[in-house]
Amino acid sequence: MSKAKVGVINVTGYAGVELTRLLYQHPGVELASVTGRSAAGKRLGEVFPHLASIELTIEAEPGEVDLAFSAMPHKESAGQVMPLLDHGVKVVDISADFRLKDATEYQQWYGFTHPAPQLLKQAVYGLTELYRSQVASARLVANPGCYPTGAILALAPAVKAGLIEPEIIIDSKSGISGAGRTLNLQTHFAEANEDATAYALDGHRHLPEIVQELERLSPKQALSITFVPYLIPMTRGILTTGYASLASGKVPVDKKGRRELFQLYQDFFKDEPFVKVVEFPPHTKHTWGNNLCLIHPTIDIRTGRLVVISAIDNLVKGAAGQAIQNMNLMLGLPEVTGLEAVAVYP
Amino acid sequence: MSKAKVGVINVTGYAGVELTRLLYQHPGVELASVTGRSAAGKRLGEVFPHLASIELTIEAEPGEVDLAFSAMPHKESAGQVMPLLDHGVKVVDISADFRLKDATEYQQWYGFTHPAPQLLKQAVYGLTELYRSQVASARLVANPGCYPTGAILALAPAVKAGLIEPEIIIDSKSGISGAGRTLNLQTHFAEANEDATAYALDGHRHLPEIVQELERLSPKQALSITFVPYLIPMTRGILTTGYASLASGKVPVDKKGRRELFQLYQDFFKDEPFVKVVEFPPHTKHTWGNNLCLIHPTIDIRTGRLVVISAIDNLVKGAAGQAIQNMNLMLGLPEVTGLEAVAVYP
Amino acid sequence: MSKAKVGVINVTGYAGVELTRLLYQHPGVELASVTGRSAAGKRLGEVFPHLASIELTIEAEPGEVDLAFSAMPHKESAGQVMPLLDHGVKVVDISADFRLKDATEYQQWYGFTHPAPQLLKQAVYGLTELYRSQVASARLVANPGCYPTGAILALAPAVKAGLIEPEIIIDSKSGISGAGRTLNLQTHFAEANEDATAYALDGHRHLPEIVQELERLSPKQALSITFVPYLIPMTRGILTTGYASLASGKVPVDKKGRRELFQLYQDFFKDEPFVKVVEFPPHTKHTWGNNLCLIHPTIDIRTGRLVVISAIDNLVKGAAGQAIQNMNLMLGLPEVTGLEAVAVYP
Amino acid sequence: MSKAKVGVINVTGYAGVELTRLLYQHPGVELASVTGRSAAGKRLGEVFPHLASIELTIEAEPGEVDLAFSAMPHKESAGQVMPLLDHGVKVVDISADFRLKDATEYQQWYGFTHPAPQLLKQAVYGLTELYRSQVASARLVANPGCYPTGAILALAPAVKAGLIEPEIIIDSKSGISGAGRTLNLQTHFAEANEDATAYALDGHRHLPEIVQELERLSPKQALSITFVPYLIPMTRGILTTGYASLASGKVPVDKKGRRELFQLYQDFFKDEPFVKVVEFPPHTKHTWGNNLCLIHPTIDIRTGRLVVISAIDNLVKGAAGQAIQNMNLMLGLPEVTGLEAVAVYP
């Protein structure tokens, strides 16, 4: 049987280049095409020396493929994706263009009128652990943002079980590759090194995704979520903490309750290949370069609060790795194919 | 008039060495003595080459001084401090040994029976902005912990004004010098670099200080505080965020409310030389090496929550700088003496 | 055909843990045993959470294997290796214990009398590119040090071709994982971060290896080599520069000479799977986590000097990756098996 | 007596901002004017929050001052400096525009025809330790580049004493602030972090300065200097190593020779306030934020070579600090005024 052909649109950003690294090693597909307007015509290894062993030339337009990943910026991605879908190409869109179900939110959060609102319902939100079967049969998957991946996975078991009150604080520390490859004073080495800062206090664009998905898990009540992202001086990794008061009468506020909580998380993620519920606060370093999400749920016994911490590599489980996890399902391959490498440590 | 003589006990940790740097440049006192058992007999510059221009030999016991800083570890500091007080030497204790008013908390949090509970009431908690006049007349000042300094300053105006509900989340990201100079796998470069992690989820020893001081400002209600500290890969700096719901009817939950909140913080810290209320999320880098605390209060308008962020240099305002600020008051010197250098940036 | 069983002795250092990561993904062997005295009895994932998916318990003594890697410290390794050889187990020794051919050098450089000088001649120096056929038939391979790997590969073509004068300067900048996992003030985060320093100016223990191997390539003349290592604040990577005057009459000192030099290096490493001769100064980042050595040779036209720069990941090509490259040959497997992953970037 | 008024032209780069930090604390001058075209009209604290306590507005043109620092880019600086000189304003030029004595070298190295070659002879090369008396009476001082400062100071004693052969290798590792504040992929955090690389192998623009100044100290012979700069992942600091063979018959190649060499360096820099000859390899960290140059000379006894290592803070002794050291002399102030702060460590 011949392998499926896949392509990467906009290989020149960090999500695109990470997709290429992972797809090159993937035994079940053939990476047939990479595009990138500014670099069109160059060999991949000219632009990214670590990919010199991949014999591909960057093209202006995607070639013939069965499935395409779009790593275009939001607003530009939809325009690339629509003709592909029309030609029967399956798509995993890494941009935000198909993540939100309500088209009016694109106006509010991203400042543009969505060009294809009819596709928003068809698109499957690609947090694989929550939408596995829908992903498998989708022709368009909207790959989650890096922050939402860590935040939703950390809070989903507690929200779904009605374990917590609806007031939720999410504090999320990101490595600087999350800000992309476009130059910016905020990500200039001498400015970002030895610095920590918060940003987007008026509302980060990943917030509506987090609200949309956690509220789908919380049918009885609306949620009130504060989300604050931070830049910290490392290249990769997101460490996310969720804080919420325990609903009364669900789990005891003591060490026994901690064990029940741990068990509830274990059960929720039973058989998940890429989520590990862990007994100690996770280190982002333990996910460097791989597709795991590590989650540590605990109870602040003094105050009766859930404190749950997740760690991911923002470019893998937070972007390219999860996109390939989705691709595997869409192509009928085992979900873990090509994603089994352990983290590079230290 | 002759200058007061001061000494540093245990110069070999990071608080001790930073005290020495700042005292050497201080125009109002003479650094007369530094002690450190393991390094006794060595010239200061042998142990710390950057201090080679200071002509002092590390001694086993403190010399004759008017005021001493103890940078001993907790539990050991009290024993050093008591005889000094008996001899009329004023003391700024950088350890935790005199911070808590309730002696039983030492058993609970630090695991030892306090040797001098009678001194706990005399000791003034050295968060200068809250206890300026008491510090000025104190003979024993308990210098605050690094985390409490950033957390209490960030929340004090809101708590004192009754602006927020008593459920408070404090999420605090620290550079790694905060973990001290003692070797530890957690602070080994290859482990700590490119990593972020939470720790002390069962309760960090700085929590009781934070509770004690914020509750003193909140006479009407007890507080329910969750505090989680994090290590992030930078040398200096603490970025602390406080989250709490706004009490109803105090400030409007809109842009006008944000301006009122900002004004309330401005008023609270009016004329404070070392606290700046700022209009943008602060960067720890902007405090590197100096004694400022930068505070940015805002309202999450979607949820009606206060989000307040502070940035300090953990070794300056979080330790040695604040100790000198207290010393200045205790010796009748202008509060800012020796602390006026601006941050080293970038 | 059943897979060969391999074991790692002393899994708890960085070379051991990196071997384990790479062997776990290796399709041609079975990682059957890992030892580590201090951690004996613990599951691998308890000590190294990123290896939790590997179902192995750390043992006190190696189990039954066909080939063992010793990642013991020098001086202790020989004692572990000798009984294994006696039992017919093939060994790749990552320590220095079998790298030097002259037993008296162990006294001089390492301060001990070698316990098995007769094995020094049998042992093959495992710089695969130079000793491929000997490695294939060896029962004991002495894996090169991290610095020698980058230095010898960078200079071998020039030395062998008699292109340079015998006075050679080697300046080598290493990431801090090269100093190992043992705690040390030099590698304490707050000391090592934002710092660069030289060390071992009296002679680093990797120097005799470099001299031994480059002199074997230089039959006509002895070499006079100065080698200075540096610690710079990154986790992985070694960037090595070799400087030497061009011998007269070999290549022209101009741009044409540069091209001839480049071609000579290309020819030397033709068909080498893990050495790439590159047209621009290499970045250590482009080897992060993989087994490549990137080499850029050029001529300083003003002075008629060779300047040649190599980049490796000190834990892969500089230790565990090269060990597996050797193992592949010793077991009759294709040399690249298990080592084909591209670098993790950024 | 009224203080001299000084101004900073182009405050928005890292040299300009560091000048401003140091001048603000300087007791002997008044910082009267800062300019910066792109930021003209803004308060200094808007652009640089850490300078918010300085009450200055960035202007488009320099105000009335007695002495001006130009931190303009090369080629643009000369045009700013010439009218100031015409109006009797003294100038310390931090750009390269007046460093080279031979106008034709500007064409060769910087690609422009020098607009005022007659000024090149008048301009004093501001490596204070070599030109102290000329600086004191100069109206135009060309402040050295960051690399030349560390390199020339390290090698000057050996070159002047005829201690070494004329073949010299200079290998220099720089923190990334040395590349300036202008955005660039090379200095983008995710690219530069965890990376080391060489650059400018065809000849860095700081090389002709180094040659010019070391040859002035070496009247008997021309020098053959190879200089290679490197970027390493830290914000500040340059560590420079000079390598050269010892001339025969000058110092013995043994431990006694090392002591003689050390003494020769001590004598050369006797009474220098900002150069320390040290007994161990220096750490850049020990100069962070201050004006020292630490130098460690030694002999590689195996090969008879001088190895000399210097450490500076590239923004202080390598730029702004040295500029102020020169200003002090030009204004008749004690040389150390405003520069006495010790390094910020760790």
Beta bridge partners of C173: C230, C239
Give the per-residue pLDDT at B37: 85
Q: By C-alpha distance, which of C145, C151, C144, C211 is closest to C178?
A: C145
* Min Cα separation D131/chain C (Å): 28
Burial label for B199, CB within 10 Å (0-12, 13-18, 19+), is middle
pLDDT digits (tens, 9 = 90+) for B239-279: 999 999 999 999 999 999 999 999 999 999 999 999 999 99
Task: State the catalytic residue, choosing from D94, D100, D124, D146.
Answer: D146
* DSSP 3-state of D144: coil
> Tell me, what DSSP letter sits at residue A282?
-
Give the mean model confidence (pLDDT) for residues C305-313: 98
pLDDT digits (tens, 9 = 90+) for C21-71: 999 999 999 999 999 988 999 999 999 999 999 999 999 999 999 999 999
Give the mean model confidence (pLDDT) for residues A56-69: 96
pLDDT digits (tens, 9 = 90+) for D327-338: 999 999 999 999
Phi, psi angle pair for C60, to nearest 5°: -80, -35
Phi, psi angle pair for C270, to nearest 5°: -55, 135
Residue in chain C lying closest to B315 (CA)? C190
Long-range CB contacts (within 8 A, 24+) of A78-84: A78/A114, A78/A115, A78/A116, A78/A119, A79/A115, A80/A9, A81/A140, A82/A115, A82/A116, A82/A119
Beta pairing class for D29-35 and A140-142 = unpaired
Domain ranges of chain B: 4-144+318-330, 147-314
Distance, in Å, from the CA atom of B159 to the CA atom of B178, rounded to the nearest integer, reads 26
Q: Cβ contact (<8 Å) for B177 and C190?
A: yes
Distance, in Å, from the CA atom of A161 to the CA atom of A165, rounded to the nearest integer, reads 11
Strand segments (E) across chain D = 4-9, 29-35, 58-59, 67-70, 90-93, 124-125, 140-142, 164-174, 197-198, 224-231, 238-246, 275-277, 293-300, 305-312
Residues of A in contact with C346 (CB under 8 A): 14, 17, 177, 235-236
Task: State the catalytic residue, choosing from A146, A275, A292, A333.
Answer: A146
Position D1 pLDDT exceeds 80: no
A38 touches chain D (CB under 8 A): no
Q: Cβ contact (<8 Å) for C340 and A14?
A: no
pLDDT digits (tens, 9 = 90+) for A85-117: 999 999 999 999 999 999 999 999 999 999 999
B197 touches chain C (CB under 8 A): no
Distance, in Å, from the CA atom of C87 to the CA atom of D76, rounded to the nearest integer, reads 75
Give the mean model confidence (pLDDT) for residues D52-67: 95
Longest dimension (CA), chain D: 63
One-letter amino acid for residue A330 of the chain: M
C336 touches chain A (CB under 8 A): no
Active site residues of B: 146
Give the per-residue pLDDT at D2: 86
pLDDT digits (tens, 9 = 90+) for C63-111: 999 999 999 999 999 999 999 999 999 999 999 999 999 999 999 999 9
**B196, B288, B305 member nearest A237 (Cβ):** B196
Position A62 pLDDT exceeds 70: yes
Give the CA dihedral B20, B26, B30, B33, nearest 10 degrees: -10
Residue in chain C lying closest to B188 (CA)? C188
Architecture of the structural domain at A4-144+318-330: 3-Layer(aba) Sandwich (3.40)
Reduced 3-state DSSP string for B268-317:
HCCCCCCEEECCCCCEHHHHCCCCCEEEEEEEECCCCEEEEEEEECCCHH
D24 touches chain B (CB under 8 A): yes
Contact indicator for B113, B199 with CB cutoff of 8 Å: no
* Structure tokens that stand for B126 in this block: 């050295």
Identify from B38, B177, B188 which residue to disrupt to test chain C contact, counting C C-beta atoms within 10 A and taking the largest count.
B188
The angle formed by the CA atoms of residues B336, B337 and B338, to the nearest 5 degrees, is 110
pLDDT digits (tens, 9 = 90+) for B144-190: 999 999 999 999 999 999 999 999 999 999 999 999 999 999 999 99
pLDDT digits (tens, 9 = 90+) for C209-228: 999 999 999 988 999 999 99
Q: Angle between the B14-24 and B321-330 helix axes, to the nearest 10 degrees?
A: 50
Give the per-residue pLDDT at C37: 85
Beta bridge partners of B239: B173, B311
* Structure tokens that stand for D197 in this block: 């690389």
A 10 A CB-CB count for A273 gives: 17
Position C1 pLDDT exceeds 70: no
Distance, in Å, from the CA atom of B212 to the CA atom of B99, rounded to the nearest integer, reads 9
Give the per-residue pLDDT at A1: 63
One-letter amino acid for residue A154 of the chain: A
Position A155 pLDDT exceeds 70: yes
Distance, in Å, from the CA atom of A276 to the CA atom of A282, rounded to the nearest integer, reads 10
Phi, psi angle pair for A8, to nearest 5°: -120, 120
Distance, in Å, from the CA atom of C69 to the CA atom of C95, rounded to the nearest integer, reads 10
Beta pairing class for D238-246 and D275-277 = unpaired
pLDDT band at B219 (very low <50, low <70, confident <90, very high): confident
Identify from D48, D181, D188, D345 which residue to disrupt to test chain A contact, counting A C-beta atoms within 10 A and taking the largest count.
D188
Give the per-residue pLDDT at D37: 85
Give the per-residue pLDDT at B222: 96
Residue in chain B lying closest to C184 (CA)? B183
Phi, psi angle pair for C155, to nearest 5°: -100, -20
Contact indicator for D223, D211 with CB cutoff of 8 Å: yes
* Min Cα separation A67/chain C (Å): 23
CA distances from B37 to B34, B117, C184, C252, C332 (A): 10, 26, 20, 63, 59
Q: Hunting for tokens 């007031």 — which residue is that?
A: A167
pLDDT band at C2 (very low <50, low <70, confident <90, very high): confident
A187 touches chain D (CB under 8 A): yes
Position D219 pLDDT exceeds 90: no
Contact indicator for C238, C318 with CB cutoff of 8 Å: yes
Residues of A in contact with C48 (CB under 8 A): 345
Kindly tell me the sign of the dihedral angle through the C-alpha atoms of C111, C116, C118, C120: negative
C243 touches chain D (CB under 8 A): yes
* Min Cα separation D205/chain A (Å): 22
Count interface pairs B-D at CB distance under 8 A.
74
Distance, in Å, from the CA atom of C204 to the CA atom of C202, rounded to the nearest integer, reads 7
* Min Cα separation C16/chain B (Å): 15
Q: Cβ contact (<8 Å) for C185 and B183?
A: yes
Strand segments (E) across B146-269 = 164-174, 197-198, 224-231, 238-246
Task: Give yes or no for a cis peptide into A115 (omega within 30° of 0).
Answer: no
C258 touches chain A (CB under 8 A): no
Position B1 pLDDT exceeds 80: no
D38 touches chain A (CB under 8 A): no
ipTM comes to 0.97
How is domain C4-122 classified at the CATH fold level? Rossmann fold (3.40.50)
Active site residues of C: 146
* Number of helices (H), then strands (E), in chain B: 11, 14
Burial label for B25, CB within 10 Å (0-12, 13-18, 19+), is middle
A 10 A CB-CB count for C61 gives: 11
Give the mean model confidence (pLDDT) for residues D94-119: 97
Q: Is domain D147-314 annotated with CATH 3.40.50.2300?
A: no
